[in-house]
Amino acid sequence: MAGMLMPRKGVVLKAIIEQFIRTGTPVASLDVTRLYHLGVSPATVRNEVAWLKKEGFLLQPHTSAGSVPSDKGYRYYVNSLLDVEEISAEEQRRLRHMFHQVEMELEEWMGLAACLLAQLVNNVALVVPPRTARARLRRLHLVSVHSKVALLVLVLQDGRLRRQLLTFEDEITQDQLDTICNRLNAIYGGLTRARLKTEPAELSPQEARVLQVAAVLMATEDEREYEEPRLEGLRRLLGQPEFVHSDKALDIMDVLETRALVRGMMAQVRGGDVSVVIGEENPNEALRDLSLVVSRYGVPGEFTGAIGVVGPRRMPYSRSISSVRFLAALLGELAAELYSGSYRGTQ
């Protein structure tokens, strides 16, 4: 991946990539000369292009077509050429405002974030709900459904709700249920699943039963790999010119339906900032035609989700990076509020 390109080679590469990202058709050296008048003749540009091809930054679909960026080209572009234009303060305010207008609920925020992101980058946006490494019980409630059946509602520390129907051997009233709740909450509130078992207590059969079901629910939470992610903008992705001949479109649907995308995406989120994965760099076979721009959000070590963009290699990287970065930060703030109660919002 060598060092820096000679300044002009970089300019040419950048011009070609950005032109290609816009139009999607191979770009001719002449076009570059015309559109970004560099003060040199087309022939000079051709020489540079020839060199970039030789070195593998550009590809030629066929002998006499313009050039197309290779993965190596994109990579160099993203690492060294790209100037990420952060979202303007005004735009940030506008977006923030939208989040304050919807219900104060994580689900809503994620849905909105996915919608906005998809719109901003005109590709598929994916938001994976944040979760704690280990589910922690905040509180449980029992609601009588009828004489022998009750609805168990678990409120987890991070605000998630789980419910499960529960059948008792004998009839049981709401008052009795309330008593059970109060006792269990007093003893087990704030504990992880593992601690539910070790915490000693004398429990009635019913209490034991409720506790056991709660433990099972929390266990499935702990084991669940990822929550169902929000996914938006499929239509935009499939509308990209690279997918009009739909062989690839079907592959994409496969990737999405099998959740392979989520797993692939989660595998790529490095700590801290936004990661960019380009085409063949992707370890997941099925994602080789796609590029990913992803970021974690949340409080590292405590609870994390992921948000990202999926699109063809030919993707507006600058816009994607800035959008993902901004929304990740925003979601992080919002989620922190729900999770730990310590609101770290700006202003």
Residues that bind its own copies (CB under 8 A): 103-105, 138-139, 141, 143, 145-146, 149, 151, 153, 155, 159, 161, 163-165, 217, 220, 232-235, 238-239, 243-246, 249-250, 253-254, 256-257, 337-338, 341-342
| Residue number, 40 or 149, with CB nearest to DNA | 40
Of DNA, its own copies, none, which one does residue 73 interact with (CB within 5 to 8 Å by kind)?
none
Amino acid occupying residue 205: P
CA–CA separation, 129 and 114 (whole Å): 11
Say how many C-beta atoms besides its own lie within 10 A of residue 202's C-beta. Answer: 7
| Residue number, 62 or 235, with CB nearest to DNA | 62
Nearest-approach distance from CB 81 to DNA, in angstroms: 19
Do residues 319 and 83 make contact, with C-beta atoms less than 8 angstroms apart? no
Handedness of CA 270, 275, 280, 281 (dihedral sign): negative
Residues forming the site for DNA (CB under 7 A): 26, 28-31, 40-44, 46-47, 49-50, 53, 60, 62-67
Give the phi and the psi of residue 160 in degrees, each rounded to 5: -65, 150
Nearest-approach distance from CB 166 to its own copies, in angstroms: 8
Do residues 266 and 296 make contact, with C-beta atoms less than 8 angstroms apart? no
Give the phi and the psi of residue 192 in degrees, each rounded to 5: -85, 175
Give the phi and the psi of residue 154 in degrees, each rounded to 5: -105, 130
| Residue number, 145 or 208, with CB nearest to its own copies | 145
| Residue number, 151 or 267, with CB nearest to its own copies | 151
Of DNA, its own copies, none, which one does residue 164 interact with (CB within 5 to 8 Å by kind)?
its own copies
Q: Which long-range contacts (CB under 8 A, 24 or more apart) does 50-56 make?
A: 51/9, 52/9, 52/12, 52/13, 52/16
Of its own copies, DNA, none, which one does residue 163 interact with (CB within 5 to 8 Å by kind)?
its own copies
Amino acid occupying residue 274: V
Q: Which two tokens stand for residue 214?
A: 């709660």
| Residue number, 40 or 244, with CB nearest to DNA | 40
Of DNA, its own copies, none, which one does residue 244 interact with (CB within 5 to 8 Å by kind)?
its own copies
Nearest-approach distance from CB 5 to DNA, in angstroms: 14
